[in-house]
Amino acid sequence: MPETALLIMKQIINTPDAPAPIGPYNQAVRSGNLLFVSGQIALDPQSGELVLDSIEAETHQVLRNVKAILEAAGTGLQNVLKATVFVKDINQFSRVNAVYGEYFRPEFAPARELVQVAELPRFVNVEISVIATV
């Protein structure tokens, strides 16, 4: 098989409407009709400051960042197939879940897991990554 047949076409997605990556990665990568959005934390893209007023405010900012990246790629929340939610404290599950439910209605909610982790980048409380169709 020729080497060129093994190449996977991918498109890099970055938008100023979401925080710039804080490491060697891009906000999202599109391959075919799939979009892989990197984990987002509660960085305000305009100020560069973390939004940590409450777990609700933090979760809203994370999901606004995810939404901005999806829209920059030409898709939206209704096309998310899978979400991965990382939380620092599982006792905040219901509060994170309540905000999450404002963005993902039951009629188009994706598959999801929510797991507790020891730490997250910049010591935030929640991080969310998604896979969507475009």
Compute the average pLDDT of residues 12-36. Answer: 96
- The mean per-residue pLDDT over the stretch 58-82 comes to 98
Q: Taking residues 100-108, what's their average pLDDT? A: 97
* pLDDT surpassing 50 at residue 1: no
- Mean pLDDT (the chain) is 95
Residue 16 sits at φ, ψ, to 5 deg, of -70, -10
Question: Looking at the domain 3-133, which fold is it?
Answer: 60s Ribosomal Protein L30; Chain: A; (3.30.1330)
What's the pTM value of the predicted model, to 2 decimals? 0.93
Predicted local distance difference test score (pLDDT) of residue 8: 73
Torsion angles phi and psi, residue 28, rounded to 5: -160, 160
CB atoms near residue 38 (< 10 Å)? 19
